Amino acid sequence: MSRAPRIVLVGTSHPGNIGATARAMKTMGLSELHLVAPERFPDPQAVAMAAGAEDLLEQACIHPTLPAALAGCHWVAGLSARPRSLSGPSLTARQAAQHLTHLGEQTNAALVFGRERTGLTNEELDLCHVRVNIPSNPEYGSLNLAAAVQVVAYEWRMAMLDGPASPVEAPDTPGTPASSAALENFHAHLEEVLAEIGFLDRGNPRQLMRRLRRLSNRAQPEVEEINILRGILSAIQGGRTRRPGGASDRNV
Ligand code: SAH
């Protein structure tokens, strides 16, 4: 049985949308609401729109930044109404919901929704493993924030009721997936080393780090794999050389 995903709202400006999101979640059996720097919260308009889902508002966690809201998450999906050229792999809401049913009980997932006016920034989408779109009218495709949450929460509920769509292949000794924080530390370390060896020109970085992030996000690396990669980076920097498979807990 997979775990229910957390819903993360980034920079919400209208408190009514936070309340309507709580209602949308509770009707579909979701309960974990995380808010990143909401403009107005708590607020009576949020309570009014929650209409019986105030408990979710009371328990909502408020974070200053998106990485803080993603702490402990292993699979992060960014909901976006807009196609972007370098946004990485993309799923429909239905495909994302089906993917969620395949995740193990130990895997924490997050569904991230953007601001009413401007959505998610490219930097925020870079923190997501996949971009998720609700297929909609190409000429008027942007749903109200809480309506988008409702659609995705409904798809999650239907996918859970149906069970995993196809038998999951038994992975060979699955390891623990690396957390978002471990991946971020790896990306920071990689950027540092690439600059040191002159491969990355910080004055003219182009899209190098974004492309490398795409690669590692797509690969969904495990803790031990990230430790190996960090060991290689340290060795390049002239630090201690680490044997492959050597125990290390520094990057977990
Ligand atoms: N004008 C913004 C849209 C913001 S709507 C933009 O162009 O990005 C607020 C949020 O609802 C979005 O950031 C996204 O998370 C979600 N959303 C709205 N419509 C969506 C759609 N068709 N597919 C996926 N997410 C959508």
Tokens of 157: 């509920």
Region 9-23: mean pLDDT is 98
Measured between alpha carbons, how far is 102 from 218 in angstroms, rounded to an integer?
Answer: 16
Residue 129, pLDDT above cutoff 90: yes
- CA of 115 from ligand 1 middle (Å) equals 8
Residue 109, pLDDT above cutoff 90: yes
**Cα angle 88-143-50, degrees, rounded to a multiple of 5:** 115
Q: Does the beta carbon of 113 lie inside 6 Å of ligand 1? A: yes
* Nearest residue (CA) to ligand 1, atom 18: 143
Residue 75, strand partner residues: 109
The strands making up 33-36's β-sheet, listed across from edge to edge, are 61-63, 33-36, 6-10, 109-113, 75-79, 130-133, 90-92
Identify the CA nearest to 250 among candidates 194, 190, 186, 166.
186
To test the pocket of ligand 1, the residue of 34, 35, 142, 151 to mutate (highest count of ligand atoms within 8 Å of its CB) is: 142
To test the pocket of ligand 1, the residue of 8, 79, 144 to mutate (highest count of ligand atoms within 8 Å of its CB) is: 79
Residue 177, strand partner residues: 222
Measured between alpha carbons, how far is 114 from 79 in angstroms, rounded to an integer?
Answer: 7
72: left (phi over 0), alpha (psi -120 to 50) or beta: left
Identify the CA nearest to 12 among candidates 94, 120, 168, 95.
120
Q: Does the beta carbon of 79 lie inside 6 Å of ligand 1? A: yes
Measured between alpha carbons, how far is 229 from 137 in angstroms, rounded to an integer?
Answer: 43
- Domain at 180-239, CATH from 1.10.8.590, 3.30.70.2740, 3.30.450.90, 3.30.1360.230: 1.10.8.590
Confidence at 216, pLDDT banded by 50, 70, 90: confident
Among 114-128, 130-144, 176-190, the least confident range: 176-190
- CA of 129 from ligand 1 middle (Å) equals 17
Report pLDDT for 170.
Answer: 44
- CA of 143 from ligand 1 middle (Å) equals 6
Residue 135, strand partner residues: none
Superfamily of domain 6-162: SPOUT methyltransferase, trefoil knot domain (3.40.1280.10)
**Domain locations in the chain?**
6-162, 180-239
pTM as predicted: 0.78
* Nearest residue (CA) to ligand 1, atom 3: 119
pLDDT, tens digit (0-9, with 9 covering 90-100), for 29-52: 999 999 999 999 999 999 999 999
CB-count burial class (<10 Å; 0-12, 13-18, 19+) for 78: buried
Residue 220, pLDDT above cutoff 60: yes
Residue 199, pLDDT above cutoff 60: yes
Measured between alpha carbons, how far is 141 from 138 in angstroms, rounded to an integer?
Answer: 5
Tokens of 137: 């009218």
- DSSP designation for 154: H
